[in-house]
Amino acid sequence: MTEIVPILIGDRWVVPDCDAFTPVHRPATGQIIARTPHCGTAQVEVAVQAAKAAFPSWSRTPAPERARVLFRYRELLESHFEELAQIICRENGKTLDEARGDVRRGVEVVELACGVGQLLKGEVLPELATGIDGMATREPVGICAGITPFNFPAMVPMWMYPLAIACGNCFLLKPSEKVPYTANRLAELFLEAGLPAGVLNVVHGSREVVEALCLHPEIAALSFVGSSPVARRVYELAGQTGKRCQAAGGAKNTLLVMPDAVDSGLLGEAAAADPTLKAVLQSAFGCAGQRCMAGSLLLGIADACDDLRDQVASAMDTMTLGDTLADDGVSMGPVIDGGSQQRLATSIGAAAKEMSLVRDGRAGVPPDGFFVGPTLLDHVRPEHDLFAQELFGPVLGLMRPGTLEEAIDWVNQIPYGNAATIFTHDGGAARTFAREVECGMVGINVGVPAPMALFSFSGWNQSFFGDLHVQGTEGVLFYTRQKTTLTRWQGGTTAFTGVGAKNR
């Protein structure tokens, strides 16, 4: 019997009484390593009560004291950095370097949250009216919940709970059922750092527990990251109980390479080392393409396109696939599970009937585990399914717009709005692109323009439902609400007789 993943209620790890489970795989081998229990309303209720009990004391704890717990947490995350990266590799399959990046981006949010005293300083206007002072403060919203996807088991949960908790809230985390161990270890370390019982709780499961969180009347704010259909549903459900909600969804991101950025005739390792091609490959195939910022459409202008295709294909041939825990040198790991592997194989097969398949990721992959190799399809057009569909795998489609203007027009037909990148040496082209593309994150010679903790992660259109985004300044605003206090005191100045009074 495989282990059942425990949940965290208060400061106790318990195995919930559930009758449905999701298998947790080791994607690199296909082996089942645990079972994630499907919690429901009963476990959400107990977790909410634990959070409610912790809230009065935690929300009144002075900000510098809360920050001290976060500083200790940050130190523990650093000393357990490699252990966390290994846990991610085991249950998600990404390479060790990618896993380290996953943890590092999360630690950066904790570092932001360490400055909570500074972040929460309010505004004061003395003499707002005659004899009246005005003050606006940011107050915690209460009990918050976060629901996260499988692809960044550390970073995405840490987009949420460190800032929420630093701001004085209590939190219920519902990690992806496919990668539960990273979140459990992150929570364990927070308790070890001195976080009081009940401030952070972890419940596991799938649809039932998500709906219970969305509908619970005592949860005030909900953060969601995942696919767009679920993001939209969560946003709608959260609205039914008047919660504030930030729901980040899927994406279809573009990489436009202008002719001046294509260096002709590069092959193999030379192509893989070229800064533009390297950025394209990392964007398209990093984390096996399972990133909401992955560039999955490559646009080359007119005549430069053949050269671009040949060089990208040649650089792809230098990539290696495998189990990163067995071989630290592999450039790409597996996709998350058999369902994803099968779905990608079907999509590649369907696309190959409509366009040319330059590299086929279904061929020559390791026999065990859920591997799909880097795939390149040429001559994608806006009318093809592949144009606006998020495949979430290592599949890159090449498009051939005639001009920069046509490229921008095509980018703006995509219903999502996470990222668009341009590679060029031409400042004018870069400026036009950055100003005209309708998406929230723009890269200029940056393949994955994901903002780090100091900026908010600003998806648009079908990539985001809500108003205030995760992390950065908007993250602080999301997890707090404003209180304004107007004050009038009578007669204070006449009573002053102390030292220095005669000089006033």
- Would strands 170-174 and 132-140 be described as parallel, antiparallel, or unpaired? unpaired
Q: What is the 3-state secondary structure (H, E, C) of 469-481?
A: CCCHHHHHHHCEE
Residue nearest to ligand NAD (CB): 226
User: Which residues bind to ligand NAD, rule: CB under 6 A?
Assistant: 147-152, 156, 174, 176-177, 206-207, 210, 225-227, 230, 248-251, 292, 390, 392, 418, 457, 459, 463
Cα–Cα nearest to 182, from 5, 3, 369 = 5
Helix (H, G, I), strand (E, B) or coil at 133: strand
Task: Return d(Cα 326, Cα 242) in angstroms, integer.
Answer: 49
Report yes or no: 220 and 241 within 8 Å, Cβ to Cβ: no
Report yes or no: 182 and 87 within 8 Å, Cβ to Cβ: yes
Q: Is 208 exposed, middle or buried (0-12, 13-18, 19+ CB in 10 A)?
A: middle
As measured in angstroms, the least distance from the Cβ of 253 to ligand NAD is 9
Q: Which is nearer to ligand NAD, 247 or 262 (CB)?
A: 247
Q: Which is nearer to ligand NAD, 177 or 323 (CB)?
A: 177
Measured CA distances, 206 to 90, 138, 262, 497 (Å): 21, 33, 45, 67
Report yes or no: 158 and 106 within 8 Å, Cβ to Cβ: yes
Q: Which is nearer to ligand NAD, 27 or 250 (CB)?
A: 250
Report yes or no: 227 and 204 within 8 Å, Cβ to Cβ: no
As measured in angstroms, the least distance from the Cβ of 273 to ligand NAD is 29
Show which residues are catalytic: 292
As measured in angstroms, the least distance from the Cβ of 438 to ligand NAD is 16
Element (H, E) at 237: helix 228-240
Q: Which is nearer to ligand NAD, 92 or 424 (CB)?
A: 92
As measured in angstroms, the least distance from the Cβ of 346 to ligand NAD is 17
Q: Which is nearer to ligand NAD, 407 or 470 (CB)?
A: 470
Q: Which is nearer to ligand NAD, 233 or 359 (CB)?
A: 233
Report yes or no: 36 and 21 within 8 Å, Cβ to Cβ: yes
Strand positions, DSSP E, 186-320 = 200-202, 219-225, 244-248, 253-257, 295-300
Q: Which is nearer to ligand NAD, 95 or 471 (CB)?
A: 471
As measured in angstroms, the least distance from the Cβ of 467 to ligand NAD is 15
Q: What is the radius of gyration, based on Cα positions, of the chain?
A: 25
As measured in angstroms, the least distance from the Cβ of 275 to ligand NAD is 26
Strand positions, DSSP E, 15-111 = 21-26, 31-37
Measured CA distances, 226 to 46, 88, 210, 262 (Å): 25, 18, 12, 34
As measured in angstroms, the least distance from the Cβ of 323 to ligand NAD is 21
76-88 burial code (b ≥16 CB/10 A, e <16):
bbeebeeebbebb
